[in-house]
Amino acid sequence: MDQTDRKRLGDAGEQAAVEMLERSGYRVLARNFRCPQGEVDVVAERGDILAFVEVRTRSTAAWGDPSHTVSWAKQRKVTRAALQYLFIHGALARDRMVRFDVVSVVGASVEHIPDAFDAGM
């Protein structure tokens, strides 16, 4: 699979994740928030929850669940990018629980893992 195919697969997985989150009552605030500290795939809110979501996609389950590929280093990058997002949009976090979720996409299967990791750096 070349770079273009990987990008297309990742984009499709991210779109599937967004659609699943919206069906579950989340409102997507941002996609692909980038800063020097890292990137957050999706920022979404539902009630008093502000979720920073890492999306992992694979075409098949032959190599296992993609959620298992969110390494400690990746968690750290997502956490740092989330802190930057909160700095920029500070009022969003007021009176809310901030959470780090993972959405695992394998083919047509989309699984949301709330509170998949914490901000322990």
- Give the C-alpha separation, 84 to 80, whole Å: 6
Handedness of CA 114, 18, 70, 82 (dihedral sign): negative
Radius of gyration, CA atoms only, the chain: 14
In CATH, what is the architecture of 3-117? Answer: 3-Layer(aba) Sandwich (3.40)
In this predicted model, what pLDDT tens digit does every residue of 39-49 receive, in sequence order? Answer: 999 999 999 99
In this predicted model, what pLDDT tens digit does every residue of 56-76 receive, in sequence order? Answer: 998 777 677 888 889 999 999
The answer, yes or no, to whether residue 121 has pLDDT greater than 60, is no
